[in-house]
Copies of this chain bind each other. A is one copy, B any other.
Amino acid sequence: MVTLAEVAQHAGVSASTVSYVLSGKRSISATTRQRVEQSIRELGYHPNAGARALASSRSNIIALMVPLRTDMYVPVMMEIAIAVATTARTHGYDVLLLTGEEGPDAVRRVTGSGLADAMILMDVELDDERLPLLREAAQPSVLIGLPADTTGLTCVDLDFRATGALCVEHLAGLGHRDVAVIGEAPAVYERHTGFAERTLDGLRSRARETGVRLLHRPCEGGYDAMAVTLARVFDERPGTTGFVVQNESAVEPLLALLRQQGRAVPEDVSVVAICPDQVAVQASVRLTSVSIPAQEMGRRAVEHLVAKLDGRGADEVVLLAPELTVRASSGPAAS
C-alpha cells in the first residue's frame, strides 16, 4: 500500500506538502505541484480513508436511511437513493446505506461513531422516534418527508397538500362532481406517514371549496383488492366520474377494471394519478398525473446537507411545487 510519506519521498517534498497539494488548502508552486502529482500517478497513490477520517474528523460519508418495508412504491425510493448517491459524489461524498430496520439505534451508531458526517432520512413518520436523536446529534441531517413537528429540522418533500388540491381542481374544472380517491394501503395511513395524510388534506379542502363530493378509500395494491374497492365505490356513489389514484400498484388494475365494466376513459370517467411520470406514460391509458419528483428530492436533500456541512444553510422546510401534466385519461365530465 502506497502512503503519503512514500509519495513525499518520491517527490522530494515533505508530507505536509503532499497533503496540501491534495486538499488545496494552501498555495503550492506550480513546479512542486506537478512533481507531486506526477509521483502520485506513478506510485498509484490513494489516500487512506480511515487515516483521513481520524485526522480530520470527517469521513466524507453521508448516511441514507431507507425504509425496510416495501408496501410503498419502491421505484420512487430507488430513484431518490440513486439521486442521493450521484449528487453526493459530485460533492465528494459517498453514501452509506442504512435500512430502517435498526431504527433509532442506527442513528446512534452512525452519529456516535463518526461513521458519517451527516444523514438523510426517508419515509419519515409524523411522529418519528428518530427525530429527537437527530435534533441533538452533532451531525446535520435532512429529512425527505415531513413530520408533524419540524422545529430544528430540515425537510425536503413534495407539497402533497398542494398536490391533492391540484388533482381536485383539475377534475372540478372539467365539471366532475363526484370524485373517488384510491389511496395507499391501509397500513400506510395507520403508520401516519405524512404524505398520505397531507394529500388527503389537500384533496378534501379543495373539494370543499369547489363543491366536489369526495370518497376516500385506501387500497392494497393489485387487481383483486382494486376490484373490491371499485365495486364499493360505485355502490356508494354510482355517479362517480372522477378518480384520483395515489397507489401505483392500483393504477393498472383500475384501468383494466374500468375497461372491463365498459366505462371508457376519459369519456365516461376521468383518472388522475399521483405517480412517477414513467408510470403515467407507460400505463394502458396515458395518465393525467402529478409526478413525484424523486430525483429532485434526492438532489435537493444532498445539496442542503452539503450546505450545512460547509457552514452555510440553516434549518428549513422545502416543499416542491407539484405539477400536473394533462394526458389522455382526463376529460370533461359526461353530462
Contact = CB atoms under 8 A, between A and B. Distances in A.
12 contacts: A1-B114, A49-B50, A49-B53, A49-B115, A50-B54, A54-B54, A61-B96, A64-B97, A85-B99, A94-B96, A252-B256, A256-B256
A86 B101 contact: yes
Contacts of A68: 82, 86
Interface string A44-61: 101111111110010101
A49 B50 CA distance: 8
Contacts of A75: 70, 74-75, 78
Interface in A70-104: 70, 74-75, 77-79, 81-82, 85-86, 89, 94-99, 101-102
Contact of A284 (B51, B108, B256): B256
Residue among A44, A81, A115 having the largest count of chain B Cβ atoms under 10 Å: A115
Q: How many copies does the complex hold?
A: 2
Of A98, A113, A259, most B-chain CB atoms within 10 Å: A113
Contacts of A50: 49-54, 57, 59, 114
Contacts of A102: 89
Interface string A196-236: 00000000000000000000000001110000000000000
A109 interface: yes
Interface of A: 1, 44, 46-54, 57, 59, 61, 64, 66, 68, 70, 74-75, 77-79, 81-82, 85-86, 89, 94-99, 101-102, 108-109, 112-115, 221-223, 249, 252-253, 255-256, 259-260, 278, 281-285
A51 B114 CA distance: 10
A85 B282 CA distance: 31
A133 to B, nearest CB: 12
Contacts of A66: 82
